[in-house]
Structure formats: structure tokens, C-alpha cells
């Protein structure tokens, strides 16, 4: 008989905040069990992470983010979901290769779970790594329905501490409604590098930006977030998720180098040392830090264009809890930060990525986003009228994006791990294995390749900016 391990709820604390904490060591868990049982219940939550902020959100098991789930590679996950949000909902297991019926897309892979209804998601999480789960209904992720799931890889090097860091921001409700209509007057915030942005006045508005009222790491705003205590000599693994659904975050830990080993939970060809991480919407990075001296430092999330300090948590050695934490300047000039090109050893323009046969090839022009247009497109069409990608099992597939808009688009493919082989004309010597990737604005290009070896079904391919997705920037990969 199989023995179940029940892990839900143990990480949620009163007040809706998940305290920054090290993951429990493996020895503390029932390693022998085959099935890990999880119970997730979504309910409304008044979320108050900062004085003066009282946000009417949604939460799994009463906390934003939802409970941190941890499972060993090879174990089976059985997650019983109870929906008490008052509206239909689902759970999408972001970054997992799993049976299509477990993918959690309303009206595509399952009938949405009605209010007061329940659904059991059961699958064996694959591949291992830092992944996450979130609602795929409406803009429920923006309201708080998200959490991290870690699938432990037995091959990973051992860390002295393994710390989950979920970055998210609390929206101003009025700006969400306006953004969905394309008439938001919230200031534009977008990653660096857009010439059109540089030409903009600070007072220009895009119409689809969401304004945020508070900025959190693991559900707490600085300085309320519980500090992370590290020992001198420790090597600490940080698992970073950007659960903000519209904005990129740059993550820095003052005075320290981040050794990045995984992107979206998948190992890099070789680790990359950087001073800052660029973490697009829905992306995850694993970064290792070595603490060699006593001190107190800020681990910060910064937004770009213009750079601004959004969220932070203090990291300190014992006895330094009252010390003034050292922060990082809110500027990236001269700062080596993580990019796909850096990690993938981008080659000169013109060198096209090598590779074998391609069975299916599809190009998409990402467009739309006109003021108050309420429409984001792929090849001029909005979901559900976008061109689909039909594949047969075993096909080698190439998808190329050209971004004609002036915003980055974090494109996400369900149920697969793709390889980024080209960015803006630069072939990558080491393709990056990912499930979500930022396509640069203003003519930026990106090419993915993947093998159609996932379970048969309909797998969505969409922009993970919730506003863009709901306004049409979505298609699907269909197995014949």
C-alpha cells in the first residue's frame, strides 16, 4: 500500500504572508513515500502587506503566495483543489511536462472548476527544478493565486541553505480594470533597451500598464519581511520566481556575486556569474551566493525604465540584525547582469544555429497594443483566431517570433521545455532550456526549437503578461 505525505498548509502563516525561510532539509521529510498529497483551497483574502494597503485578493490556503510545495523527483503529486473563489478557476502547473488534462487551462484542457467545486490534479512532476503553479482563469494570478513548487533534483550540488523567494506586487484595483480596457494611466515600466522608450517622456502612458501599490517578497514588504539569516562560510541557493504578471524585475544582492545555475528550473550549460539577474514575468532562476564575511545586505527587486527600488529583504549574518543594511544603487550602468545572450554565449550576427531536421516551422509577428485598442495579436489575429501549430508526435518544431510592439513579451509554452537558439540575429552556442522567455521589443527576434514528445493534447503558447494574454496574444500547439 502506498503511503501518502501531507504537506499542504504547513508553510502558510497568519496574516497572509509566507515568511522567508529555508526549505526544510530532505531528512525531515518522508522520502520513501511515493505519493505526496497536497490540499489547495482558493478563497478571497484581504491582503495587507504594508500600512495603508488593504487589497481584496485571492489566496491558496489563506496566504499570498500560496504554500511552498516541495517534492522529490520521481514522487507523484496528488493535489486536491477546492475552489471557493466565487468564480470558475483552475491550477496550471507552470513548467511541467504532464498529461494534458492536468495542465489546468479552462475550456482547453479541462472544464473549469466551478465555485465550491473540487478537482484532483495528479501527475509525476517532470522535469525537476524550480517551477510554480498558478490559476489560469481570468486575472486570478494577479489577484494572488500563485505559489512555488520545487521538484528536487537528486543530482544537484548540496546547498547549506535552499531559500525560495517569490517576488510579486500588489496591484491598484482601478488600474487593473483600466489596463484590461487599454486606458490605464499607470506609468510605463518595461525592461531596458527600447529606443522608443528612451524617446518617451516620463509622462507618456501606454494604456495597458498596471500600477502597483505594494511590493513583496514572499508576501511581505520591506522592512516587514523577515530577514534571511546566513552564516559566514555558507553557500546558499536562492530560488527566485517573478510572479508579477506585467513587469520584469532585476534582482541584486548588495556586495555579492550571484552564480546562476538554472533558468526556469533547467540547468544552464555552465554557471554564469553576475551582479544582477533579469527575471522576466513568470521566469525562475536558481542563483548561488557565498557569504564570506559578516554583514547585512539588501536583496532587492528593481524595476526598469526608469530603474526603481520595488521590494527587498535583508540578508544578514548572526549578530548583525540591527546593522544598517547595505543597498545597491538603482542603476545598471556598468553592472553585469544575466541575459540569455550571456548565458548562451551568443555568436556574431549571421551565424545561424546549427541543428538537424525541422519538421514544423512557424513564424509569428507579435503585434497590437494600440492605445485603448484592447487587442494584442500574433500574425494580426487575436485568440481564439490565431494560427495554431499542428504537430505529430516526434516532430522537431521551430517557432520564430518577431516583436513589432514596443514592449517585451514573456512568451510561454505549456507542457514542453524549449531551447532558445537565436536572439536578435545572434545564434546561441549553448541553447537555453526554458519554458518562458522575453522577446525584445521594436523588431526583436527569438527562435525556439523543441521536440513534440509531450503527451498528446492542446498546449497553449502565449504571452505571460496577463493583460496581453487576455487581450489575445495566445495560440496553441496541437498534437495530431
Partner 1 sequence: MRYLRLFAGLLAVAAAVALSVVHARAAGEPFAGGDAAQGAKLVQASGCEGCHGAGFTGGIGPALVGIEKRLTAAQVADKIQHPKAPMPNFGFTDAQAADLVAYLSGLDGGTGKPVVKIVPAEPTDQATVLVTFSGTPPSDVQVEAVMRMGAREHGTGWVPLQKTDDPHVVAAKVRFTMGGPWIVRVRYGKGAAMDVPVTVDG
* Binding residues for partner 1 (CB under 8 A): 51-54, 174, 185, 200-207, 215, 221-223, 296, 298, 306-310, 312, 314, 322-331, 369-371
For 437, other C-beta atoms within 10 Å of its C-beta total 25
Q: Find residue 42's DSSP bridge partners.
A: 60, 83
Given a contact cutoff of 8 angstroms between Cβ atoms, the answer to whether 426 and 364 are in contact is: no
Q: Kindly tell me which of 19 and 307 has the beta carbon lying closer to partner 1.
A: 307
The least CB distance from residue 198 to partner 1, in Å, is: 14
Residue 457's Cβ-count burial label (10 Å; 0-12, 13-18, 19+) is: buried
3-state secondary structure of 402: strand
What is the CB-side half-sphere exposure of residue 304 using CA atoms within 13 A?
24
Taken in order 460, 464, 466, 467, the sign of the CA dihedral is negative
The least CB distance from residue 109 to partner 1, in Å, is: 35
The least CB distance from residue 166 to partner 1, in Å, is: 19
Q: Kindly tell me which of 274 and 312 has the beta carbon lying closer to partner 1.
A: 312
The least CB distance from residue 138 to partner 1, in Å, is: 21
Rounded to whole angstroms, how far apart are CA atoms 445 and 427? 11
The least CB distance from residue 412 to partner 1, in Å, is: 25
Q: Kindly tell me which of 232 and 372 has the beta carbon lying closer to partner 1.
A: 372
Q: Kindly tell me which of 206 and 236 has the beta carbon lying closer to partner 1.
A: 206
Q: Kindly tell me which of 179 and 298 has the beta carbon lying closer to partner 1.
A: 298
The least CB distance from residue 203 to partner 1, in Å, is: 5
The least CB distance from residue 327 to partner 1, in Å, is: 4
The least CB distance from residue 307 to partner 1, in Å, is: 5
Q: Kindly tell me which of 222 and 433 has the beta carbon lying closer to partner 1.
A: 222
Eight-class DSSP state of 442 = S
Tell me the CA distances in angstroms from 281 to 203, 204, 303, 351, 454, one per residue in order.
24, 23, 12, 29, 24
The least CB distance from residue 192 to partner 1, in Å, is: 13
- Beta strands 444-451 and 396-403 are antiparallel
**Ramachandran quadrant class, 93 (left: phi over 0; alpha: psi -120 to 50; beta: rest):** beta
Rounded to whole angstroms, how far apart are CA atoms 336 and 455? 39
The least CB distance from residue 260 to partner 1, in Å, is: 24
Q: Kindly tell me which of 73 and 309 has the beta carbon lying closer to partner 1.
A: 309
Length of the chain: 480
- Beta strands 146-152 and 129-134 are antiparallel
The least CB distance from residue 243 to partner 1, in Å, is: 19
Taken in order 47, 48, 50, 53, the sign of the CA dihedral is positive
Given a contact cutoff of 8 angstroms between Cβ atoms, the answer to whether 427 and 353 are in contact is: yes
Taken in order 210, 212, 218, 219, the sign of the CA dihedral is negative
What is the per-residue burial (b if ≥16 Cβ within 10 Å, else e) of 101-138? ebbbbbebbbebbeeeeebebebbbebbbbbbbbbbbb
The least CB distance from residue 188 to partner 1, in Å, is: 9
The least CB distance from residue 308 to partner 1, in Å, is: 5
Q: Find residue 150's DSSP bridge partners.
A: 70, 130
How far, in whole angstroms, is CA 277 from its chain's centroid? 13
Rounded to whole angstroms, how far apart are CA atoms 480 and 477? 10
Q: Kindly tell me which of 215 and 409 has the beta carbon lying closer to partner 1.
A: 215
> For residue 425, what is the enclosing H or E element?
none
Q: Kindly tell me which of 309 and 479 has the beta carbon lying closer to partner 1.
A: 309
How far, in whole angstroms, is CA 449 from its chain's centroid? 20
Taken in order 207, 337, 318, 218, the sign of the CA dihedral is positive
Q: Kindly tell me which of 69 and 299 has the beta carbon lying closer to partner 1.
A: 299
Amino acid at each position: 500500500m502506498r503511503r501518502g505525505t501531507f504537506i499542504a498548509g504547513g508553510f502558510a502563516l497568519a496574516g497572509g504572508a509566507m515568511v522567508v525561510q529555508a526549505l526544510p532539509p530532505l531528512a525531515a521529510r518522508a522520502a520513501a513515500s511515493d505519493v505526496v498529497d497536497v490540499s489547495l483551497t482558493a478563497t478571497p483574502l484581504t491582503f495587507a502587506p504594508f500600512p495603508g494597503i488593504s487589497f481584496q485578493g485571492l489566496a491558496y490556503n489563506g496566504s499570498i503566495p500560496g504554500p511552498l510545495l516541495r517534492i522529490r523527483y520521481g514522487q507523484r503529486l496528488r493535489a486536491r483543489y477546492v475552489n471557493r473563489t466565487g468564480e470558475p478557476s483552475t491550477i496550471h502547473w507552470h513548467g511541467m511536462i504532464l498529461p494534458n488534462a492536468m495542465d489546468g487551462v479552462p475550456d482547453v484542457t479541462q472544464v473549469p472548476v466551478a465555485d465550491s467545486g473540487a478537482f484532483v490534479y495528479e501527475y509525476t512532476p517532470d522535469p525537476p527544478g524550480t517551477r510554480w503553479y498558478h490559476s489560469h482563469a481570468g486575472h486570478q494570478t494577479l489577484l494572488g493565486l500563485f505559489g512555488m513548487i520545487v521538484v528536487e533534483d537528486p543530482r544537484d550540488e548540496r546547498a547549506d541553505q535552499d531559500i525560495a523567494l517569490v517576488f510579486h506586487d500588489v496591484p491598484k484595483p482601478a488600474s487593473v480594470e483600466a489596463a484590461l480596457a487599454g486606458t490605464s494611466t499607470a506609468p510605463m515600466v518595461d525592461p531596458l533597451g527600447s529606443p522608443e522608450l528612451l524617446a518617451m517622456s516620463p509622462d507618456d502612458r501606454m494604456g495597458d500598464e498596471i500600477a502597483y501599490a505594494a511590493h513583496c517578497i514572499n508576501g511581505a514588504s520591506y522592512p516587514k519581511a523577515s530577514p534571511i539569516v546566513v552564516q559566514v562560510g555558507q553557500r546558499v541557493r536562492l530560488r527566485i520566481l517573478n510572479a508579477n504578471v506585467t513587469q520584469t524585475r532585476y534582482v541584486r544582492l548588495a556586495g555579492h556575486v550571484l552564480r546562476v545555475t538554472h533558468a526556469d528550473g533547467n540547468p544552464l550549460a555552465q554557471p554564469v556569474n553576475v551582479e544582477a539577474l533579469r527575471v522576466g514575468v513568470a521566469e525562475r532562476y536558481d542563483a548561488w551566493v557565498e557569504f564570506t564575511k559578516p554583514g547585512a545586505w539588501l536583496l532587492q527587486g528593481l524595476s526598469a525604465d526608469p530603474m526603481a527600488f520595488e521590494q527587498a529583504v535583508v540578508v544578514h549574518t548572526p549578530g548583525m540584525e540591527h546593522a544598517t543594511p547595505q543597498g545597491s544603487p538603482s542603476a545598471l550602468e556598468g553592472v553585469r547582469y544575466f541575459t540569455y545572450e550571456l548565458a548562451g554565449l551568443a555568436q556574431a550576427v549571421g551565424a545561424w544555429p546549427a541543428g538537424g531536421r525541422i519538421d514544423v516551422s512557424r513564424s509569428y509577428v507579435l503585434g497590437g497594443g494600440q492605445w485603448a485598442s484592447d487587442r494584442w495579436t500574433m500574425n494580426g489575429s487575436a485568440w481564439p483566431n490565431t494560427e495554431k501549430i499542428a504537430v505529430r508526435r516526434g516532430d522537431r518544431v521551430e517557432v520564430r517570433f518577431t516583436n513589432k510592439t514596443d514592449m517585451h513579451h514573456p512568451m510561454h509554452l505549456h507542457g514542453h521545455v524549449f531551447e532558445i537558439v537565436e536572439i536578435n540575429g545572434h545564434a546561441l552556442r549553448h541553447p537555453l532550456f526554458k519554458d518562458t522567455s522575453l522577446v525584445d521589443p521594436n523588431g526583436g527576434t527569438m527562435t525556439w526549437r523543441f521536440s513534440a514528445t509531450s503527451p498528446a493534447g492542446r498546449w497553449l503558447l502565449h504571452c505571460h503578461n496577463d493583460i496581453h494574454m487576455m487581450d489575445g496574444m495566445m495560440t496553441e500547439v496541437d498534437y495530431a
